[in-house]
Structure 1
Amino acid sequence: MQPSPINSPLTAPAGATPPVIRLANIEKVYQTKTIETIALSEVNLSIARGEFVSVMGPSGCGKSTLLSLMGLLDEPSSGTIEIDGRPVTSYSDKELAGLRNHKIGFVFQSYHLINDLSVRDNVELPLLYRPGVSGAERRKRALAALDQVGLNARTNHFPAQLSGGQRQRVAIARALAGRPEIILADEPTGNLDSVMGEEIMDLLLGLNRDQGTTLVMVTHDEQQALKTQRLIRFFDGRQVA
């Protein structure tokens, strides 16, 4: 007998706002001919709209896999992922790509900037894949995002001409240019010294506080994690706290 919608763990109570991200009974298994690796197991997790959540755990515990699933860059082996109360399996491939492009921004530890492109062109790049955004609008959004992260004087520089902290700011500006509701950050301060790390963390906290951006951040830095609204811990692919 199928559970009623009211009792389903994937259905918000009547009148309630559904979580912006919900993972239910998630398992992710990587298989080769000789070995099976369980990256995530029995993960049940909800992220509220406007929440800033940090995820901690030892290397190899599944943190980056978790972000990939939340960002719709990968699919679980089993379980259900919902965005705004709708299972992602109900989206077509085209709708899924549009959802990633419009709703989710990514910030990576290693920046993922293209060295042959200027700072402004790097920030504009994801908008090239968004229908209906003109070249003038891309430029306007890129410049506004760079101003927001304090790099309006560096728009014509190239990544090799920037410090690590500045490159991370460019990566954040690239995420912001798409005006996402959700930012997923994988070790955003991991390659930075303590001073630059504090600056990037303050920037992320400001985005959450002032714009209501939902953030999920993977980190090894307990001090940074404790500044967020909620700390989730993983160990061997399972949520332990």
Structure 2
Amino acid sequence: MLSLQNISKSFQTDRIETIALSDINLHVNKGEFVSVMGPSGCGKSTLLNIMGLLDQPSSGEVSIDETPITSYKDKQITGLRSQKIGFIFQSFHLIHDLKVLDNVELPLLYRKMSAKERKALAITALEKVGLSARIHHYPTQLSGGQQQRVAIARAIVGKPEILLADEPTGNLDSHMGSEIMSLLESLHQQDNTTIVMVTHDEEMAKRTQRTIRVFDGQLI
């Protein structure tokens, strides 16, 4: 489903080169729920960004469905990301001036569909996360857990095959965090969504099928 071969990533400044990832080889199977753990600054988010085609590796090859995307042009990468990948962020990244429904519709603006179709898909996604009664609220009128649910609805509205989550419970208390984790488990089981989740929480990681550990830019 998602494969990384000999992936390395470095960041160059005038004075120093920082190696974020070094020789990463990783395969995530279709329908698998994987957690990624490691200390702060070890390369977890960089790894997730490369998986999600938000960043390009310095060397190595990323493949989705056994198709290498190294030679893809920017427009092709954007299209593939829009069709196949959903993102959930720790800080929600909701637009406070837009109502919940409009926030969830945003990823669909890049697809050729009517406003009516976008609205129907957004409502369906909000129903899945239990927020159909909040579609006309603004993010600031919601709790942190509810805002994360909106962010999840936005991530799944386009029915992606791959869901990438960067510390999705990191800004929530333990109760809300467990609720969000249960929601991700439900999406995984019901829709067979492939999920890769970065987390610092060992208890959350134990609820996934496999845990990958990163240290100093390498898999251990």
TM-score, normalising length: structure 1: 0.90
The Cα offsets for residues 42-81 of structure 1, whole Å up to 9 and x where unpaired, read as 1000000000000000000000000000000000000111
Structure ID, larger Rg: 1
1:177 and 2:154 are equivalent in the alignment: no
What SS is found at the alignment partner of 2:137?
coil
Provide the residue aligned with 2:79 in structure 1.
98
Aligned residue in 1 for 2:146: 166
User: Who is 1:85 aligned against?
Assistant: 66
Report the Cα offset of residue 198 of structure 1: 0.5
1:59 to 40, 59, 68: 40
Question: Which of 197, 202, 209 matches 2:177?
Answer: 197
User: What's the CA shift for 1:89?
Assistant: 1.6
Task: List per-residue Cα deviations over 1:59-111 (Å, max 9, x = no partner).
Answer: 00000000000000000000111011111123232221110001000000000
| Paired letter, 1:34 | R
> Percent same amino acid among aligned pairs?
65
- After superposition, what is the alpha-carbon deviation per residue over 1:107-161, rounded to whole angstroms, capped at 9, x for unaligned? 000000000000000000110011x211000000000000110000100000100
Matched, 1:211 2:191: yes
Quick one: which amino acid aligns to residue 167 of structure 2? E
Q: d(CA) in 2 for partners of 1:90 and 1:73?
A: 15
1:149 aligns with 2:143: no
User: Counterparts of 1:92 and 1:238 in 2: how far apart (Å)?
Assistant: 28
Equivalent of residue 73 in structure 1, options 49, 54, 68: 54
Compute the displacement of 1:35 (Å): 1.1
Which blocks of at least 5 consecutive residues in structure 1 are unaligned? Answer: 1-19
* Paired residues, number: 220
Partner of 1:188: 168
Given residue 64 of structure 1, which amino acid in structure 2 is its aligned partner? S
**Equivalent position of 1:220 in the other structure:** 200
2:91 to 92, 110, 132: 110
Distance 2:6 2:91 in 1: 30
Structure 2: which amino acid aligns with 1:111?
F
* Letter of the 1:162 counterpart: L
Tell me the distance in 2 between the aligned counterparts of 1:205 and 1:144.
Answer: 18
Q: After TM superposition, what 4+ stretches of structure 1 lie above 6 angstroms from structure 2?
A: none
